[in-house]
Structure 1
Amino acid sequence: MSSAEVPSVGDLLAERYRLEELLGGANGHRQLWRGVDVLLHRSVAVVLRSPGGEAAAPTMTAAVAASRTHVDSMVDVYDAVDEDRFAYVVREWVNGSSLRGVLEQQTLESAHALELVASVADAVAALHDGGVTHADLQPGSILLSEDDRVMVTEPRNEPGNTQVEDVRALGATLYACLTGAWPRVVPAENTGLPDAATDEWGRVLDAAKVVPGVPARLSQLTADLLDHSQTPPSAAELAVELRRLSETGGADPAPAQATSVLGAINLGSLNLGRRLSGDAAAPPLGMKRLAVVAAVVAAVIFAGVVGSAIVFGGGDDPAGAEDQITGEDTGGDASEEGESDVAAPTEAEITEADIRVVDPPDGDRDQGEGVEAVIDGNASTGWSTNTYYNDPGFGNLKPGMGILIDLGEAMEVASVRVQMTSAGATVGLLAGDEDPGDSSEGDQAIVDDFTELAPPVADADTNIELQAGGQSARYIVVWVTELPASSGGFKLTISDINVFVR
């Protein structure tokens, strides 16, 4: 944002909200301000984005939905204004800490983690009922107030984000509460936490393997929520299950009847995808006061990690404590029985020279530009196919398209992470020993001769991790055979690809 486009300190918005202090996002399209409502004489948080107009429409829609969510665990939204050059949302000012600030110091006990995430799930369920998604669920967007409330900041409602992704982010938040680390299978900005530990195939370690004492039932539920091959429950259903488990500290009071915890959730007459209302058998929606969490917040504030009047919101908040408490290594001794001595996978270094588009006949080979954006680490950029019509299988014109990656030498491929801007594609992995050439004939040879490295995932989420099982390959292809619907046709944008090898 330039000074010519957006307000600055001391400016009065809507003749009412005076900007006092810029807290985050000084050089971005989204800024967080501390402000004052001069009419009601109270502090407010102002989330300012540029530009306004059409680009801000999802933000405005989300603000309206948030203002109508009458749950204790959602911050109150007071106002939303679009001035075309910029738009802003005015919300409740919260004194306290972000969840991130707490988790940088210590993890939470199982029962308290369950109650906290259940409160967050209440807010998410209310948003989903209102037809919007949050799109920024992570420890920095969850606030713990000085008066013992758990509160979720205003939603972003980013285009392409789905309710399923919000629920997976709830699972990632639960994992972070238990372990103090963030699982990268759920992308998020500025979590402030270290990446979750993974096994030799790049899969996130179960919480119980990272922190001894986490109940097996709770650890399995968290793993299921992070598993992209499983369909998660709605946010409302998840809130019910989390509170049920919290009564026993995360252990299941009854024997499990299913391998997957998600498959064992029994919600009776609950309407799928909707919040419980007036159900005497269920805990009321909203936040339960969390005495232990409040004590942790008080300790953090007392220690000087956060001031008594600091507010954090979304991914733009300050990093919190400069010093992090480093606990003992709880990952276990590799020499113990059952542990593998195979080296953990690392991310392969890929350059622009190592990738190209595969477009077999009857492709016109005019879609190769911009493919380098899938390795730039920026989720806002990417490579896109053309728009095809009549059929999601590239209009029945060709068997598919893909992105070829040269690893430089044969390596054991653990997994490949693919991030897309919309769900619904069919994506798999192919592998071969040599590149037959950047030509129409060469691309056809890839289709004919390369073998399957990972089976295709149909109707894929926007973020998937394809497991290659340690097979050796030098050349791999992220291979797309069906496109998601887009603007009357079918089109896909891949924003990021990460390859993990041993």
Structure 2
Amino acid sequence: MTQVGEGQDADESTPPVMTFGAPQTGEILAERYELVQHINNDSAGRLVWRGVDVVLRRPVAVVMRYPGGDSATEMLQAAVAASRVVHPNLAGVYDAIDEAERAYVVREWVDGRSLRDLVADGPLDTWRATAVGNAIASALAAVHATGMVHGNVHPGTVMISDDGRVVLADARTDGADSQETDVRAVGGVLYYALTGHWPHTEAPLRGATAGHGRAAIADAVRDANGVLAAPRQVRAGVPAYLDDLTMDLLDTNVAPPSSDVLAAELARLDVPAEDDYLDNSGPLRFAAEPGEEPSPLAAAGGRKVALGIAGLLAVALIGLLIGISTLGDNDDDPQTDPVAAPSTSAPVSEEPPTPKIRNLKISNARIIDPDSRNRSEVRDAEKVFDGDRDEGWSTETYPRSNFGGLKRGMGVWIDLGGEHTVKSVQVNLSTPGASAELLTGTIDGPSDKAGDEQVLTAYLKSRIGQPFEEHDGTTMTFNGFDADQKYRYLLFWITELPSNGNGFKVGVQEITVQGS
């Protein structure tokens, strides 16, 4: 289960966090909210905790910042404003408290995954992406109707609950935010949902990723002039009207619609009746009622489709006339029998189908430890791909984060058993705070110190994406793979260990590779 804030990294402008007032597991805030588990920190240095309302006995999310006072004013004001808007696609805000040494907001806990994590498994199909876009636009329409701005729409703040509900959380505004930037952010969310790439040149809007965390969300494809590739150029099968709408929202030269108009337009798109991806308790539907006027925005794409269909019909008519003429000239020739003659025309296909993304099987794994003395830590590598996150491989405990100054690092080498197109690698760790990177190579050295040194030396020449530095989450996702390259061997290389209270140690619980 994830919440907004998971895997998000603080940017360089984030002020240092004070330790006075730091929360503890089991602590009860305001004599009501018990802290159960620290989930992560978001980009503003706020702590995200899973908690329990001991009065109402319901799960809650506690977003905390310390110290409180003036430094937490914006967070508390945004929470108070958000609490005034009730909408099925907005995370409910229950409480906002300033205790001077710390301040915290208590909001709805959403059992599910962020859009960021969901798309890490592969882009959404067209209708699900449209459904997500409609839900977010509907939530923004409710916010904007009060004159307020959300100011924090990105894949990390869009949650998909286990029951299919789409929830926008964590409003955070400043003077640079406007209702227009909120609406344009929906274009970014649509682009990301459809392609798995972030369309902005900067890191995803405040809170998604920054610095080394950008490895978790792939940058968009651009040409030599930096022009953004349209979704249809990145992925086959995206309808023209949705492609046009997404690109218009991202184009600062095109005036965006208001959030309520955008929500209505997305609601008109015809989602298959059997697709119950979204909770239908929201105020807007996805399938148009019989007799409804076609969408003005969809009509633009619809005209393009209609012209294309008209062109195909014209070609078919000409072909039919030629065929009739030919038959008239060859009545006695059995070779021209339209029933007996096989068709030589190939089906029209605009783009080749997108290869299906799936979990790739890891055939072998071993621990790479070139600076070892007794090889005591090279056991249990098979546990990193056994499907059980409760068991994994772990380092020993060291006195300092740099392996006590004794090693350059340690890693897990995996063999996919053959060459594959790889989309992403997800590594689940036992403890947040580790620094690591993903490497690749083409050699498989022997399982000894010399072989480990050979592998490390060769693989350090080929990094995948950007490294994670003191990552504040327990999941690292690497997406920087070359779509035109095949991969077989990968090396997850750990350079800094997190503290476990008694020293420095980390466990690799599970490694998942996705590709085709």
TM-score for the superposition, normalised by structure 1: 0.50
Give the drift of 1:253.
5.8
The residue aligned with 1:442 is none
> In the aligned structure 2, how far is the partner of 1:105 from the partner of 1:260?
29
The residue aligned with 2:180 is 164
The residue aligned with 1:399 is none
> In the aligned structure 2, how far is the partner of 1:253 from the partner of 1:37?
47
The residue aligned with 1:21 is 37
RMSD: 3.6
> In the aligned structure 2, how far is the partner of 1:124 from the partner of 1:26?
22
> In the aligned structure 2, how far is the partner of 1:237 from the partner of 1:319?
40
Give the drift of 1:247.
4.5
SS across alignment from 1:140: coil
> In the aligned structure 1, how far is the partner of 2:83 from the partner of 2:427?
28
The residue aligned with 1:59 is 75
- Residue 190 of structure 1 is aligned with which of 197, 205, 208? 208
The residue aligned with 1:145 is 161
- Alignment of 1:209 onto 2:233: yes
Letter of the 2:133 partner, please give it. Answer: V
Q: Deviations over 1:29-66 (max 9, x none)?
A: 31111112122222211001234333333322222232
> In the aligned structure 1, how far is the partner of 2:484 from the partner of 2:296?
31
> In the aligned structure 1, how far is the partner of 2:473 from the partner of 2:169?
15
Task: Tell me if the contact between 2:241 and 2:299 (Cα under 8 Å) persists in the aligned partners.
Answer: no
> In the aligned structure 2, how far is the partner of 1:27 from the partner of 1:129?
28
- Residue 100 of structure 1 is aligned with which of 91, 116, 121? 116
The residue aligned with 1:122 is 138
Give the drift of 1:88.
0.9
> In the aligned structure 2, how far is the partner of 1:306 from the partner of 1:129?
42
Change in Cα spacing, 1:216 to 1:140, as seen in structure 2 (3 Å) is same
Give the drift of 1:227.
0.7
Change in Cα spacing, 1:6 to 1:128, as seen in structure 2 (3 Å) is farther
1:3-42 correspondence runs (5 A): 3-25=19-41, 29-42=45-58
> In the aligned structure 1, how far is the partner of 2:219 from the partner of 2:479?
14
Change in Cα spacing, 1:256 to 1:85, as seen in structure 2 (3 Å) is closer
- Alignment of 1:68 onto 2:67: no
The residue aligned with 2:224 is 200
Letter of the 2:198 partner, please give it. Answer: W
- Alignment of 1:223 onto 2:247: yes
Change in Cα spacing, 1:38 to 1:133, as seen in structure 2 (3 Å) is same
Change in Cα spacing, 1:107 to 1:258, as seen in structure 2 (3 Å) is closer
> In the aligned structure 2, how far is the partner of 1:177 from the partner of 1:69?
26
The residue aligned with 1:233 is 257
> In the aligned structure 2, how far is the partner of 1:158 from the partner of 1:27?
15
Q: Deviations over 1:281-313 (max 9, x none)?
A: xxxxxxxxxxxxxxx9xxxxx997899xxxxxx
Task: Tell me if the contact between 2:68 and 2:99 (Cα under 8 Å) persists in the aligned partners.
Answer: yes
Change in Cα spacing, 1:167 to 1:319, as seen in structure 2 (3 Å) is farther
Task: Tell me if the contact between 1:78 and 1:92 (Cα under 8 Å) persists in the aligned partners.
Answer: yes
> In the aligned structure 2, how far is the partner of 1:150 from the partner of 1:327?
32
Give the drift of 1:132.
2.7
The residue aligned with 1:88 is 104
1:428-443 correspondence runs (5 A): none
Give the drift of 1:320.
4.7
> In the aligned structure 1, how far is the partner of 2:189 from the partner of 2:18?
34
> In the aligned structure 1, how far is the partner of 2:70 from the partner of 2:147?
18
Count matched residues: 283
Task: Tell me if the contact between 2:200 and 2:220 (Cα under 8 Å) persists in the aligned partners.
Answer: yes
> In the aligned structure 1, how far is the partner of 2:43 from the partner of 2:296?
53
Q: Which has the larger radius of gyration?
A: 2
> In the aligned structure 1, how far is the partner of 2:261 from the partner of 2:65?
33
Task: Tell me if the contact between 2:25 and 2:37 (Cα under 8 Å) persists in the aligned partners.
Answer: yes
> In the aligned structure 1, how far is the partner of 2:157 from the partner of 2:297?
33
Give the drift of 1:260.
9.9
Q: Deviations over 1:180-203 (max 9, x none)?
A: 000124642435310111122112
- Unaligned 5+ runs, structure 2: 1-16, 210-215, 273-285, 288-292, 303-357, 359-386, 390-425, 429-470, 486-516
Give the drift of 1:173.
0.3
SS across alignment from 2:208: coil
Task: Tell me if the contact between 1:33 and 1:46 (Cα under 8 Å) persists in the aligned partners.
Answer: yes
The residue aligned with 2:66 is 50
Change in Cα spacing, 1:2 to 1:54, as seen in structure 2 (3 Å) is closer
Give the drift of 1:319.
7.1
Give the drift of 1:257.
10
Give the drift of 1:26.
8.4
Change in Cα spacing, 1:318 to 1:241, as seen in structure 2 (3 Å) is farther
Letter of the 2:90 partner, please give it. Answer: M
Give the drift of 1:95.
1.2
Give the drift of 1:318.
4.0
Give the drift of 1:9.
2.6
Change in Cα spacing, 1:12 to 1:244, as seen in structure 2 (3 Å) is same
> In the aligned structure 2, how far is the partner of 1:21 from the partner of 1:257?
45
Letter of the 1:206 partner, please give it. Answer: A
SS across alignment from 2:187: helix
> In the aligned structure 2, how far is the partner of 1:82 from the partner of 1:100?
30
TM-score for the superposition, normalised by structure 2: 0.49
Q: Percent identity over the alignment?
A: 40
Task: Tell me if the contact between 2:67 and 2:103 (Cα under 8 Å) persists in the aligned partners.
Answer: yes
Give the drift of 1:254.
7.4
1:348-367 correspondence runs (5 A): none
- Unaligned 5+ runs, structure 1: 262-295, 297-301, 308-315, 331-502
Task: Tell me if the contact between 1:138 and 1:169 (Cα under 8 Å) persists in the aligned partners.
Answer: yes
